[in-house]
Structure 1
């Protein structure tokens, strides 16, 4: 599956989108061929294996729905958003499209997406309630989650054993214990095994921390939903890990982050812990050659509330300009609710958002994905709620977070200064001052 948290700068795509969506989103998608068959265009991003799988799914759907023809329209992640923005501006948006949470509000607010709750033939009754409303804005449903993931701590039991340190009880451990544990592993192994990889590069980690404090990253209206004190405390933990050796030094952290999951301390057998999405467990397990375990975030039992959440892997959306919205809804229903589709897709679009379908494919998943599914089931009862779609401009937060984290790690900013700069830059990027 393509990473849920892509690291490509998104500013260029956001600019193209803003320009494109000033044009009308009317017209476009869908046509009726001479043989009376309705033709719909379905756009997605991904690698070749995803393209091959989804074409098989399309073939099954067309066999069951001979009055509909699905035209596949796919590309890589890097080209997808510019292409979609251009097509939308030209009034030629695809009838069905894959959406990502950073862009859903932009397209929805500008009238480019249909309200799925108003379309006949789309059954949303079996969608996991923790993500069922994740695509809702101002009373309309602009996206339905294809599947779910959770942000979690991944741990290497062999690294813990080599350092002579026991794995933590992830139902009770605190942030203080996490910091101390990381330092203990580094010290016990004479630096051969680092305790943890930096967790400050991804704002989703802070999202969990803020939720544990009764706050959130973004409010429903797109404004920031946390205090400067909470963000400062988050950066202070990273500073403490730098000071006590629990995580790699600044220069090494930059290299590790640039290398992605394949160069993580877990994949290279040089560290005991790191934070990733549950859907990345399979790749890291394969790279490491070890049985990596999933753990809850520290602080889940000691905060004001639990902070972990289910994140929509991606969304299904329908163009507001489609000439055949009911037929488009029928296809989305098939993708969400049919066992035939799920048996091919498995967890490539996240573990299915339909809870019955998720259970149906559990025994067919690769071992790592099956462990992820079990982990999601274990934490589900402790999850309080989901998060609203991020504000327009949230795509820029990825690079803002990385840059400020590096500046602090190299000693150019204190944790408080890092928090103040992060808030200032994110408010400017999202227009939420």
Structure 2
């Protein structure tokens, strides 16, 4: 009966990856009692012959208080089962377990060497995430539970612990993690880090700047508008270069030769072919995009590669009172773990941030009648902040020479091609945002 309740409930959760497809079977692969009234489950969900596994904290109460009514999964024999991530009376086990390095029935809770964890704060659930669930404890910690489980060490845990050992700046300090064996492989279930309670989200700050520009008189330039973001964009470029420098020092690096560069260009071309077949509006731009990819194929000499962020944009950075901090080193969540851990050019991250500036500039125009009138101001804002970010990246030690500029342009166009397909499927009114990337600059 519990399995049936879980199947009906899990299909409605925003972090569930199989939405829109029927669940053929749900089974409980692991069930660990943590404290009275709290169990840790790993469930296997079968859809179309494929299996995904998810973790959840299962709470049990005879009487469910009103504050937890929204977390109810269902009732069996007078027992209410619910998602206990929403219950601060139960989630204290996360802090307690990590502080004590507790192991229970294969579930291993660990703290970073030298970290002193205060077990007194109570938790609340952040409401903005899609693929994970994060619990904030007071103003000290944020614990991210990886809902969909992929065997192996999560790149975020691997990267932030390595950078913390080097005392690298621009990261949120790690405090602990939870792991278990999955298919015989040590697998990260959760990671707890410093909570930046007095920081501001980079995307929100950028949008505030864009709003200020659009609200200012028509003759006001982006540099003159009250919320000019260029200084922050430059500082973010410096921080990005320094994070790349630390990643190169903490992990192995390599060089890719000409044949591998050509293979990379061919992967860009395959993505373009799929997108053109799906979105006819992209067809007029194919020639210019192909030209950029051809330039990559003509490059000679080796290209350096290293560990990178892999999903870099304004929503992955926070501005503290002193500097920028980079978050979420998971890579693209939908990609295989090996691909998320693979070495790549740091220009991939640079391209992701440049695309994010374009999105911030045009996000507020989506679906608005006056979008055409504001397009020039949007382009001005994007160009100004892109240039400032690249200036800061060079200032911080990042290299963008002639060869690098060719690669960067190809990475950026490939990212925009991906965005075209995504927006056409999910947010058609946003399609003009990535299409603007193919206009001559």
Shorter-normalised TM-score: what interval? under 0.3
Structure with the bigger RCO (C-alpha within 8 Å, sep 6+) is 1
Structure that is richer in strand per residue: 2
